[in-house]
């Protein structure tokens, strides 16, 4: 009894030590966000005077609320579209038997292999032809056609679901779509949640995509672009960049706080599974 | 049970116990249509977002193309330049391969360690989960700047802390020898994305397996080796393959770290004057590709670089796919 | 067979979209005196406070050209402009922060040749100093107009100089070398505490491109091949730097500079009196006033090598540039905007005062409204000096500069012991790299 208590203490001290290491850079970000522009990025860590008004200045210099709306539209739609297209694809690759599934799987992995710097050129030309540059749609619509990273990740999670459950459902007369909806979706909740969180956060922080496609039309800008709005010809107002960083991160931390509950629920579900 | 949990499906080999082996043609067609209905969006995606860019990359790689005037066919000239005279490309390739060799395993180990640590936490688990995920959540530019400042050789707290223990800290991002290891530390710090995946995988391992093993008197290591590892091997494979592919495309963090370390912090990765500082140690292959295409207007050459990158990524992926299959089979036997 | 049809479809797409960059180049110029109207799309790279200054300048333009409407988009970098023009939807007028794009944008006709407009409207190009004219045209084709300039010179810390018994800045490289040593302070263990001058050529603005003009070191030959290996001045320059680097010890210097503050922060080493003499642009004056008001500093031209005293006063200049896209929808109105922003004295002076850059026309330089002081005057004089130079425009952008930078960093770090051979190899590398784009 006593020993396990000690182990618990040891474990928690390791955790706390690691946590401090992980948090230190955010202390830097947070402290810098309260500094004057002159003090930012100097060797002085502690603000010589506190400037909470930096957080107000951001809103006067940059239409943050509109950018927030755009970012939400981009992140929510992209995540939703990704799930709609990628979950069935991942299911077909993980749980259905058909000729060519291995090859298709490899081809889907291949979609990640071309560096974005060259892919953007033909794709940008294509979206310009369709007349959709200057909007966020070139970033959202492709999600309807599946996202390679997500398909791969979902497939790996679905592999861990024992085939017995699917076979049982099939014997009960379920079609494959019903198997997916009634059996696989509930069982794969942690994996699907993780994949969705990934997609959501990736789009939330995506800088090069919005820069490439929307930088000429400010009404479509996202929060990540706002971070580069405090740059001048010969210097950057890092205090404002960091304050904006804090604001950009706040919503995702809240989202993650609620989304991670899905994992905890996953534990109880897998408990039933065995 | 173990077999199905560990099971990476091998569809080409019909496994025992599957009732529908022989079907009438009609049923087979219906099955194909079902599969197609699941995959239709992805097939469109493959053709528009893989085959089209890939074909155009291959085509442009045989041209002189500056983005502004029509491409001109030059045959193998871009490849001759790459293999014959562009020393910078090889330096950049060596840097990138170094990162693949060290960053990918380091991130996987760190992610597995933190994820396993987290599964044992009874109280405050959600707080720790958030803290460990934070670095991966942060906008990469701000996160990289903060991290590099911590490691500033003269004013950063890391070296100050080392000095307390009597250690003369290295120059970190300012030293050609330490710059890449420092980048590995940066990548390990932002390991939250992998950690979440591993955590989800670990939580998916059925508890009764461990209970049964405990009754059989298995040690912790045995449980880890014969239950945990095989169970999460699909997730490990994912981490390995995407890790290699993403590290081959490593760009933003290296660009920002170089700019901060060189004393000319910038907000984006688009300014190339500090690329590679110090002494080309942080010049990655995609950075060279970006500079070639968008700063030097050699987009044809940049595409040749991209085609080579694609081939390397493809080869490594095939090898990894095979390796992991062997590894998983081993797990099944155990 | 499915994949084959997909391939065919993709190939078809490729032919229809990917191979049609640029756009129609309509070079017809309206006769003089025509009434110009319509909308101009104007992209620039400024953001924040500086973007407001640009908006003010455009508002003044609109007041005098009521029929022209200007749609301004801020924060557009060169890469973005390149991609947009490539896809056929670039802006009418683009403003770039770098002269690097002039060579390619002129030779590829991505930016229009402005000669017909200049001739029609009798714009006097003589109002721009020669160097400024040189970096806004390429092979006789003028596709850009200069929009403010940056000039580089020497900053020195008067107190640190006085402590060491100096009253005047160095005028020759030999002097600079002596002063750098005398002004340097070391801790008992040998680490540098204050450097008289940091001779590394990747430190802040102390880079090969800013130093080459004072040595009269040439970059390219008339045939656009590397001139570096055959030009003895490069060896002189690099040996001077190497000698001083060796006096400090390369590793000592790197350790010292890695602990210095960021160039663009208040911790800039010159602000902190950790460097006594530094190379920097005219904008540093404003930063010093704002961030380090207690520093007593002086400004001067960069010192020159012995035997080149006639070059004293010359320096490096570069600038922002404006041009009109080949596929501009309204080139006539675009030209009115470019002409106004780059030649209207009031507009240039107002912007120069707001952004603290050097105005790029002779009239603006002489204007009473230009806020100037002795420090700023130093840079105005360097700007006007006939021997002041820049990096020559090239169709491959800054390729030759960056390959040289790579070599110089390695050389100062102790690689390439045979400098002459190293520079000859560098020639080969630059020539091969330039050949790739031809």
Top-confidence residue, C27 or B237: B237
Within a domain: A112: yes
- Same domain, residue pair C132 and C85: yes
Q: With left for phi above 0 and alpha for psi between -120 and 50, is residue A100 left, alpha or beta?
A: left
CATH code for position C231: 3.40.190.10
Cα gap B256→A223, rounded to integer Å: 19
> CB pairs below 8 Å between B and C: how many?
140
Both tokens of residue C352?
């120069």
Domain limits for position C265: 151-315+394-436
Both tokens of residue C145?
């107009």
Establish whether the linkage from the previous residue to B299 is cis, with ω within 30° of 0. Answer: no
- Same domain, residue pair C55 and C169: no
Which chain B residues are Cβ-neighbours of A239 within 8 angstroms? none
Top-confidence residue, A106 or B10: A106
pLDDT at site A139: 94
Residue C12 has pLDDT above 80, yes or no: no
- In eight-state DSSP terms, residue B225 is I
Residue B9 has pLDDT above 80, yes or no: no
Best B40, B41, B291 residue to mutate vs chain A (most A CBs within 10 Å): B41
Mean predicted confidence (pLDDT) in A242-250? 90
Nearest CA in chain C to B293: C79
Write the pLDDT tens digit of every residue in A103-151. 999 999 999 998 888 888 889 888 988 989 889 999 999 999 999 999 9
CA distances from A16 to B43, B115, B143, C215 (A): 46, 14, 20, 58
- Same domain, residue pair C160 and C266: yes
Within a domain: A175: yes
Q: Check if the beta carbon of residue C315 is closer than 8 Å to that of residue C388.
A: yes
CB atoms within 10 A of CB B160: 12
Question: Is the dihedral angle over the CA atoms C354, C355, C358, C362 positive or is it negative?
Answer: negative
Within a domain: C20: no
Neighbours of chain A (3+ CB pairs under 8 A): B, C
Nearest CA in chain A to C148: A233
Q: Which fold has domain B87-333?
A: MetI-like fold (1.10.3720)
Within a domain: C226: yes
Q: Which of B190-204, C212-226, C347-361, C408-422 has the lowest mean pLDDT?
A: B190-204
Query: Do A237 and C91 count as a contact with CB atoms less than 8 A apart?
Result: no
- Same domain, residue pair C242 and C342: no
Within a domain: A182: yes
- Same domain, residue pair C428 and C340: no
Interface check A61 vs C, CB under 8 A: yes
Is C47 strand, coil or helix? coil
Query: Do A245 and B126 count as a contact with CB atoms less than 8 A apart?
Result: no
Domain count, chain A: 1
How do the domains of chain B map onto residue ranges? 87-333
Mean predicted confidence (pLDDT) in B320-330? 64
Query: Do A257 and B126 count as a contact with CB atoms less than 8 A apart?
Result: yes
Instruction: List Cβ neighbours of C92 (8 Å cut-off, separation of 6 or more).
Output: C40, C41, C42, C324, C325, C328, C329, C330, C331, C333, C334, C337
Residue with tokens 């396993």: B116
In this prediction, residue C242 has a pLDDT band, given cuts at 50, 70 and 90, of: very high
Chain B residues 70-109 within an 8 A CB cutoff of chain A: none
Instruction: List Cβ neighbours of A45 (8 Å cut-off, separation of 6 or more).
Output: A28, A31, B157
- In eight-state DSSP terms, residue C309 is G
Query: Do C264 and A236 count as a contact with CB atoms less than 8 A apart?
Result: yes
CA dihedral B163, B167, B168, B171 (to 10 degrees): -90
Mean predicted confidence (pLDDT) in C126-155? 93
Instruction: List Cβ neighbours of A252 (8 Å cut-off, separation of 6 or more).
Output: A200, A201, A204, B137
Query: Do A160 and B139 count as a contact with CB atoms less than 8 A apart?
Result: no
Query: Do C254 and B88 count as a contact with CB atoms less than 8 A apart?
Result: no
Q: Check if the beta carbon of residue A247 is closer than 8 Å to that of residue A224.
A: no
Cα gap B173→B158, rounded to integer Å: 13
Nearest CA in chain C to B263: C262
Q: Check if the beta carbon of residue B128 is closer than 8 Å to that of residue B121.
A: yes
Cα gap B171→B155, rounded to integer Å: 11
Within a domain: A166: yes
Indicate the angle between helix axes C2-13 and B52-60, nearest 10 degrees.
60
Query: Do C204 and B277 count as a contact with CB atoms less than 8 A apart?
Result: no
Domain limits for position A190: 64-228
Within a domain: C426: yes
Interface check C318 vs A, CB under 8 A: no
pLDDT at site C153: 96
Top-confidence residue, A158 or A271: A158
Best B5, B9, B247 residue to mutate vs chain A (most A CBs within 10 Å): B9
pLDDT at site C10: 45
Cα gap A226→A243, rounded to integer Å: 11
- In eight-state DSSP terms, residue A238 is H
Q: Check if the beta carbon of residue C333 is closer than 8 Å to that of residue C39.
A: yes
Residue C135 has pLDDT above 50, yes or no: yes
In chain C, pLDDT over 70 holds for what percent of residues?
93
Chain B residues 148-187 within an 8 A CB cutoff of chain A: 149-150, 152, 154-155, 157
Cα gap C352→C349, rounded to integer Å: 5
Query: Do A111 and B46 count as a contact with CB atoms less than 8 A apart?
Result: yes
CA dihedral A7, A10, A15, A21 (to 10 degrees): -160
Mean predicted confidence (pLDDT) in C384-402? 92
pLDDT at site C19: 39
**Mean pLDDT score across all residues of chain C:** 89
CA distances from B254 to A22, A36, C409 (A): 19, 27, 19
pLDDT at site C22: 43
Residue with tokens 């035997």: C307
Within a domain: A242: no
Neighbours of chain B (3+ CB pairs under 8 A): A, C
In this prediction, residue A251 has a pLDDT band, given cuts at 50, 70 and 90, of: confident
Query: Do A212 and C86 count as a contact with CB atoms less than 8 A apart?
Result: no
Q: Containing H/E element for C68?
A: strand C68-73
- Same domain, residue pair C113 and C200: no
- Same domain, residue pair C137 and C66: yes
Which chain A residues are Cβ-neighbours of B201 within 8 angstroms? 157, 160, 191
Q: Which of A17-21, A28-32, B308-312 has the lowest mean pLDDT?
A: A17-21
Residue in C109, C110, C397 nearest the CB of B295 = C397
Instruction: List Cβ neighbours of B3 (8 Å cut-off, separation of 6 or more).
Output: B332
Cα gap B241→B104, rounded to integer Å: 9
Instruction: List Cβ neighbours of B45 (8 Å cut-off, separation of 6 or more).
Output: A85, A111, A142, A145, A146, A147, A148
Query: Do C258 and B52 count as a contact with CB atoms less than 8 A apart?
Result: no
Query: Do A233 and C283 count as a contact with CB atoms less than 8 A apart?
Result: yes
Cα gap A198→B197, rounded to integer Å: 9
Instruction: List Cβ neighbours of C149 (8 Å cut-off, separation of 6 or more).
Output: C132, C317, C318, C319, C320, C357, C358, C359, C360, C383
Domain count, chain C: 2
Cα gap C219→C226, rounded to integer Å: 6
Can you list the positions of beta strands (E) in C268-360? 275-281, 297-300, 316-324
CATH code for position A145: 1.10.3720.10
């Amino acid at each position: 009894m006593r020993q396990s208590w000690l182990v618990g203490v040891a474990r928690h001290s390791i955790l706390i030590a690691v946590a401090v290491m992980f948090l230190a850079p955010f202390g830097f970000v947070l402290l810098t966000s309260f500094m004057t522009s002159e003090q930012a990025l100097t060797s002085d860590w502690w603000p010589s005077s506190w400037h909470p008004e930096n957080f107000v200045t951001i809103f006067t210099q940059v239409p943050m609320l509109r950018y927030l709306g755009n970012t939400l539209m981009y992140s929510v739609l992209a995540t939703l579209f990704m799930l709609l297209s990628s979950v069935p694809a991942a299911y077909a690759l993980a749980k259905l038997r058909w000729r060519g599934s291995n090859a298709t799987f490899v081809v889907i992995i291949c979609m990640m292999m071309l560096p974005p710097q060259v892919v953007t050129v033909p794709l940008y030309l294509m979206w310009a032809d369709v007349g959709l540059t200057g909007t966020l749609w070139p970033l959202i619509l492709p999600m309807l056609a599946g996202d390679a990273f997500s398909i791969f990740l979902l497939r790996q999670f679905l592999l861990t679901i024992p085939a017995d459950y699917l076979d049982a459902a099939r014997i009960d007369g379920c079609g494959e779509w019903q198997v997916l909806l009634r059996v696989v979706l509930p069982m794969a909740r942690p994996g699907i949640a993780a994949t969705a969180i990934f997609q959501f956060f990736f789009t939330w922080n995506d800088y090069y995509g919005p820069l490439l496609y929307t930088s000429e039309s400010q009404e479509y800008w996202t929060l990540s672009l706002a971070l580069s709005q405090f740059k001048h010809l010969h210097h950057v107002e890092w205090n404002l960049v960091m304050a904006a960083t804090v604001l950009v991160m706040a919503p995702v931390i809240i989202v993650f706080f609620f989304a991670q509950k899905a994992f905890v629920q996953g534990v109880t579900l897998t408990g039933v599974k065995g | 049970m173990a077999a199905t949990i560990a099971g990476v499906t091998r569809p080409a080999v019909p496994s025992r116990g599957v009732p529908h082996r022989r079907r009438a043609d009609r049923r087979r067609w219906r099955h194909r249509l079902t599969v197609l209905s699941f995959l239709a969006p992805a097939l469109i995606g493959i053709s528009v977002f893989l085959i089209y860019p890939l074909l155009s990359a291959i085509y442009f790689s045989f041209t002189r193309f500056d983005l502004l005037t029509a491409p001109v066919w030059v045959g193998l000239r871009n490849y001759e330049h790459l293999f014959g005279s562009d020393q910078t490309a090889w330096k950049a390739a060596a840097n990138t391969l170094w990162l693949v060799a060290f960053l990918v395993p380091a991130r996987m180990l760190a992610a597995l360690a933190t994820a396993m640590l987290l599964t044992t936490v009874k109280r405050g688990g959600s707080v720790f989960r958030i803290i460990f995920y934070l670095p991966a959540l942060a906008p990469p530019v701000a996160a990289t700047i903060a991290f590099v400042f911590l490691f500033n050789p003269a004013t950063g707290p890391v070296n100050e802390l080392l000095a307390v223990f009597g250690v003369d800290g290295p120059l970190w991002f300012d030293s050609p020898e330490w710059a890449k290891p420092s980048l590995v530390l940066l990548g390990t710090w932002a390991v939250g994305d992998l950690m979440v995946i591993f955590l989800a995988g670990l939580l998916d391992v059925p508890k009764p397996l461990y209970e049964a093993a405990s009754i059989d008197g298995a040690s912790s290591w045995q449980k880890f080796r014969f239950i945990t590892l095989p169970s999460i091997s699909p997730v490990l494979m994912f981490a390995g393959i995407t890790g290699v592919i993403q590290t081959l495309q490593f760009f933003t963090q290296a660009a920002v770290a170089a700019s901060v370390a060189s004393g000319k912090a910038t907000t984006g990765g688009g300014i190339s004057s500090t690329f590679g500082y110090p002494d080309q140690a942080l010049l990655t292959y995609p950075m060279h590709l970006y500079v070639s295409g968008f700063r030097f207007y050699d987009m044809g050459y940049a595409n040749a670089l991209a085609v080579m990158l694609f081939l390397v990524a493809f080869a490594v992926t095939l090898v990894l796919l095979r390796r992991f299959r062997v590894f998983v089979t081993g797990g099944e036997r155990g | 067979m499915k994949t084959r049809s997909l391939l065919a479809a993709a190939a078809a797409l490729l032919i229809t979209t990917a191979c049609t960059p640029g756009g129609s180049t309509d070079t017809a110029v309206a006769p003089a005196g025509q009434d110009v109207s319509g909308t101009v799309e104007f992209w620039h790279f400024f953001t924040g406070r500086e973007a407001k200054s640009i908006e003010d300048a455009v508002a003044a333009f609109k007041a005098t050209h009521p029929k022209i409407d200007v749609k301004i988009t801020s924060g557009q970098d060169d890469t973005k402009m390149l991609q947009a023009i490539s896809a056929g939807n670039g802006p009418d007028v683009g403003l770039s922060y770098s002269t690097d794009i002039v060579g390619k944008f002129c030779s590829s006709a991505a930016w229009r040749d402005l000669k017909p407009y200049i001739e029609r409207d009798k714009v006097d190009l003589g109002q721009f100093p020669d160097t400024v004219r040189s970096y806004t045209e390429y092979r006789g084709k003028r596709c850009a107009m200069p929009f403010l300039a940056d000039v580089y010179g020497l900053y020195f810390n008067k107190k640190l100089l006085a402590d060491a018994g100096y009253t005047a800045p160095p005028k020759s490289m030999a002097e600079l070398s002596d002063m750098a040593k005398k002004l340097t302070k070391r801790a008992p263990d040998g680490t540098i505490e204050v450097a008289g001058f940091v001779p590394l050529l990747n430190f802040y603005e102390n880079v090969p491109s800013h130093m080459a003009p004072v040595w009269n070191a040439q970059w390219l030959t008339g045939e656009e091949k590397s001139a570096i290996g055959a030009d003895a001045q490069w060896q002189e320059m690099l040996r001077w730097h190497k000698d001083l680097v060796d006096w400090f010890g390369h590793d000592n210097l790197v350790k010292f500079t890695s602990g210095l503050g960021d160039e663009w922060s208040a911790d800039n080493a010159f602000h902190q009196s950790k460097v006594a003499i530094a190379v920097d642009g005219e904008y540093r004056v404003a930063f010093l006033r704002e961030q380090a008001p207690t520093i007593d500093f002086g400004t001067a031209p960069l010192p020159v090598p012995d035997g080149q005293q006639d070059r004293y006063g010359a320096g490096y200049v570069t600038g922002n540039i404006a041009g009109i896209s080949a596929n501009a929808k309204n080139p006539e109105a675009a030209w009115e905007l470019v002409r106004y922003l780059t030649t209207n004295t009031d507009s240039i002076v107002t912007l120069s005062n707001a952004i603290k850059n050097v105005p790029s026309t002779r009239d603006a330089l002489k204007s009473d409204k230009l806020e100037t002081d002795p420090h700023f005057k130093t840079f105005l004089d360097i700007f006007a000096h006939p021997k002041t130079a820049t990096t020559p425009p090239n169709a491959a952008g800054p390729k030759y500069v960056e390959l040289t930078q790579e070599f110089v960093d390695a050389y100062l770090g102790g690689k390439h012991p045979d400098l002459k051979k190293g520079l000859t190899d560098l020639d080969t590398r630059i020539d091969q790299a330039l050949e790739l784009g031809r």
